[in-house]
Structure 1
């Protein structure tokens, strides 16, 4: 580890903290439905959309109606993308003449992008046409991210409202987030990427002469526009197979730094929005403090492990940090930081191959996802996932002080606790169940390219990433098979929507309750004790559940490495 590396990490955190309030303020305006400076330009478009769709944006929805509209919207979009991918060969903007995708790959990809997972069992530049990239996938990049933020707004209203039967309007929330936040930011972001050297073209390929005098054909396409929403929306699906390790997606150290900032920016801002919504911004800062502690702990372990390198290679005379699978232009610090950022959020973009990390360095991204991806998390999904843990934490605190648990003025009763446990329990149940199944079935064992602990880690990471809606992978797993495409697709759908529905039920229950003022007997939820309790609950409930599986995978892999064995 170097001073330069730590300065990079500290500068990253400092800039994000400086951006938290401005971004949170803009999000709060959208949460309340207030006018913004962009309404003068985009307001007519918003109103036109409502008239065309027959939507009354002022009409409030109960939590059940909000959930039904959200589920139907995502189901229709999934079917639409499935059709685009299957019919790709007959559709325009296909300069390479690529054929339609198989049934199982189309299903996996459509579900993947609809759930904000962006798991890719294919190489984008050689599998998908420009139309499939722009229409089939990019539309999901916007709308899955907007859905996550809209759902966060719904839960915020549950905590903020008093004796109400509604939690907002799904269509209005989704439209405003897309029109006044994601779209303007992505236009500016895409222009920055184009100026930095990222292609934006409808051409299929270009031919170039290499330095050696040879002729090489390079794939191009509408990369910058997809790259912008890929990062801001914590989607992660790359235009190219190498993702953000590809120089056309991430050409410089500056673009690499900005990409990491953009992954976290909206997630950081939403914590301030929550505090503002419930009338106490210290509540938001407390949540952000807990997230930041967990994030910095992960960065420290990953950076240390990758800087320490591989002792087996050291004995062979290859000294230094572990640079396998990393871009020299980024180095160890920026690669480790990117890996932790992308898995602390539900982004899944990568600028280095996690399968090539050391055992402990690779365990950190895996563990981040297993925590429920609440260490900032995906846009919207991270904050509402963290609030589920907060409900359990305040329940534990209430037991300790002998009072009915209360959080931001709402009593937390048996129904909220049961729903929170149900939502949180989905993650380990599906991850461990599907991993166990794939570790014994022949179709599952045919996937990993490595044997022993590392091969098990490849399977475990795949289902962790799918259920956690992350999308990154230990790339040693051959996943484009009917078995893995099908099972991972089911895992992604469950991981997204089987958490959302109980969360919306909690929002509806909380909105109907009266506000309970704090009293001398209330457990404080803004100080250091509360932050420590939050961190402890996330680690105990989110982390210890997976300890046996980590012992069989990366921990066993690490012990083998230090004893001189390699997988």
Structure 2
């Protein structure tokens, strides 16, 4: 690997690791209602919001009530965004060059569900299809609210392990309010200003008509870009202001802005491992979880970087140079932003495919087969590498619970995790969580490949490449990621309906068993450690988590992965 690439990856991981402890402690203070520096400013606002909404902050919820509140918040967000998108011409300022009309009902509903679930699956071009008001009010607000709701679920899950003989997990509306006011809003204000400093627009100006050097006409888009671009990453949403997303020079004007965006995606999910350790009083175990995340992240970086830097052997066979030289950067540069090159695009691709943030700065459709295969594996892992706000942590902990159950069977002892016993009810919920992903992704992918309506959207590519594209589409929707290959035409009733199903299952279908499991653990006491307790604070247990994860994902998805990226790679090596 190029030493300059290692330097970039090392700086990124060093910055993330440096922030894990202070940010993780801050999250603990916020959700335990302990004093913070922002309290004098935000506590009066919080109290007013509770009075307006009729919320009683001291009244806690059972897991059933918490789940119901999460679903209600999601449905309200869907209704609000759908209505805004259908009525958007009414709120658009007069602009002779830019007058978007209403979206079709299915497209508006699909977009609303995607933003309410933090997926931000975009079957439209933002700068041509949406008004400023739709972008700034409807979509940006959901970036805050849906991201805050995901963080609230993660905190409720942690409380399930930290509490004893308790029937409640907290108050969803309180957790959502504090997630937005104390965490997302202040960080977004600072991050948005950093992006403006880097050159990202933040205005309500009319589009500017220009003439290109060739004499053709072109519209230069404007708009409130910076306010959306930072929270889309921080809230692990990913939907960009522009169709080109992070490859657009207005959304991502420099290498520094790219690095800022990637840090925004990872910092909170990484810090939650420290929060988990602190709230459960098992800090060493929190670091083990973080170490597992970093190990898988580095593996993805190395494999993707190597695949893209190696280039395409078919071009090499035609004596086309793909090695680095004074005249070119080398490797597979098809579909990549020349401003960033392979290192920055690899970092972005691995960060975004491992999390619930499908913000890309290249066309991943143009990756090598194995490069695209790495991204597909990341999506199929289930957000265990950093992941989304809350969802990354509980996905990894669920894998740890599977590991504890398997090792408990091997030694003939009732499985325990952090003093909590895995009884029949807990095991059933863990099994349900584990099978939801393949039960949703694989049938929907198969349907798209055999139904005429699904095949109609796959006219650009063919063969194994199309299979990879379909798998990435449904895996990213289920992971609430939103990443997609560029060769699919998804603005059709078939893809609107099937992707909506995947997004809803990935958000609420997973959150319900997670909260039910947290409720089960909260009702238990905490068993003291003994000589027979499986130690979870060492790196040996981290290795068990890694092995369990690869085993579960391999049993579920390895055959279809082989038929997609691996077959395409072998075809590329064989030649025409």
What is the rounded CA distance, in whole Å, between the counterparts of 1:202 and 1:544 in structure 2?
51
Q: Which residue of 2 aligns with 1:368?
A: 378
2:558 corresponding residue in structure 1: 547
Alignment of 1:157-556 (within 5 A): 157-208=159-210, 216-320=218-322, 321-448=331-458, 449-556=460-567
8 Å contact from structure 2 (residues 92, 99) kept in 1: no
Distance 1:48 1:433, change over 3 A: same
Q: Write out per-residue CA displacement over residues 129-187 of structure 1, whole angstroms, 9 at most, x where no aligned residue.
A: 01111121111101111011100110111000000010100000000010011000000
* 3-state SS, counterpart of residue 78 of structure 1: helix
Runs of 4+ with >4 A deviation: 208-215
CA shift, 1:315, in A, is 1.6
User: How much does 1:208 deviate?
Assistant: 4.6
> How much has 1:214 moved relative to structure 2?
6.6
* Partner Cα distance (1:536, 1:209) in 2: 58
Q: Are the structure 2 counterparts of residues 94 and 344 from structure 1 closer, same or farther at C-alpha, using a change threshold of 3 Å? A: farther
**Does structure 1 conserve the Cα–Cα contact (< 8 Å) formed by 2:294 and 2:385?**
yes
In the TM superposition, what is the alpha-carbon distance from 1:8 to its structure 2 partner?
0.8
Matched residue of 1:398: which SS? Answer: helix
Distance, in Å, in 1 between the alignment partners of 2:135 and 2:434 is 33
Q: What is the rounded CA distance, in whole Å, between the counterparts of 1:204 and 1:296 in structure 2?
A: 44
Long gaps (5+) in structure 2? 323-330
Gap change, CA 1:400 and 1:232, over 3 Å in 2: same
8 A Cα contact 2:127 2:243, kept in partner:
yes
Q: 1:295 and 1:204 mapped to 2: Cα distance? A: 42
The aligned counterpart of 1:8 is 8
Query: 1-side partners of 2:227 and 2:91: how far apart?
Result: 21
**2:362 aligned counterpart, secondary structure:** coil
- Secondary structure, aligned partner of 1:439: helix
**For 1:66 and 1:94, how far apart are their aligned partners in 2?**
44
CA shift digits 1:446-491 (9 cap, x unpaired): 1122111111111111111111111010110100011101111111
The CA deviation at 1:535 is: 0.7
Q: Deviations over 1:248-275 (max 9, x none)?
A: 0100011111111111000110000000
- Measured in 1, the distance between the counterparts of 2:521 and 2:193 equals 42
- Matched residues in 1 for 2:213 and 2:108: separation? 39
User: Counterparts of 1:59 and 1:494 in 2: how far apart (Å)?
Assistant: 29
What do the CA deviations read for 1:279-298 (whole angstroms, capped 9, x no partner)?
A: 12111101111111111111
Contact 2:115-2:146 at 8 Å conserved across structures: yes
Q: Matched residue pairs, number? A: 565
Question: Is the contact between residue 94 and residue 130 of structure 1 (CA under 8 Å) also seen in structure 2?
Answer: no
Q: What's the C-alpha RMSD, in Å, of the aligned pairs?
A: 1.3
Structure 1: which 5+ residue stretches go unaligned? none
Contact between 1:94 and 1:129, CA under 8 Å: does it hold in 2? no
- Conserved in 1, the CA contact under 8 Å of 2:235 and 2:389? yes
TM-score by length of 2: 0.96
Q: Following TM superposition, by how much is the alpha carbon of 1:316 offset from its aligned partner in structure 2, in angstroms?
A: 2.1
Distance 1:313 1:105 in 2: 40
Give the C-alpha shift of residue 402 in structure 1.
2.1
Query: Partner of 1:46 in structure 2?
Result: 46
Deviates more, 1:317-326 or 1:185-194: 317-326
1:190 to 1:30, Cα distance in 2 relative to 1, 3 A: same
2-structure distance, mates of 1:115, 1:425: 20
Tell me by how many angstroms 1:93 deviates. Answer: 4.2
Retained in 2: the 8 A contact 1:125–1:241? yes
Relative distance call for 1:312 and 1:532 in structure 2 (3 A) is same
Is residue 107–residue 486 contact of structure 1 (8 Å, CA) maintained in 2?
A: no
Distance 1:118 1:216 in 2: 27
CA–CA distance in 2 between the matches of 1:472 and 1:437? 20
Distance 1:316 1:206, change over 3 A: same
Once the two structures are superposed, residues 56-101 of structure 1 have per-residue CA deviations (whole angstroms, 9 ceiling, x without a partner) of: 1111111111111111111111111111111112234474221100
Match of 1:126 among 125, 128, 138: 128
**In the TM superposition, what is the alpha-carbon distance from 1:213 to its structure 2 partner?**
7.4
Distance apart, 1:528 and its partner CA: 1.5
SS at match of 2:319: coil
2:91 corresponds in structure 1 to 91
Residue 569 of structure 2 corresponds to: 558
How far apart, in 2, do the equivalents of 1:147 and 1:401 lie? 39
Report the Cα distance in structure 2 between the residues aligned to 1:214 and 1:474, rounded to whole angstroms: 29
Partner of residue 24, structure 1: 24
CA 1:57–1:325: 2 relative to 1, 3 Å: same
Matches of 1:429 and 1:318 in 2, distance apart?
44
Q: Hey, what's the Cα distance between the residues in 2 that align with 1:439 and 1:342?
A: 26
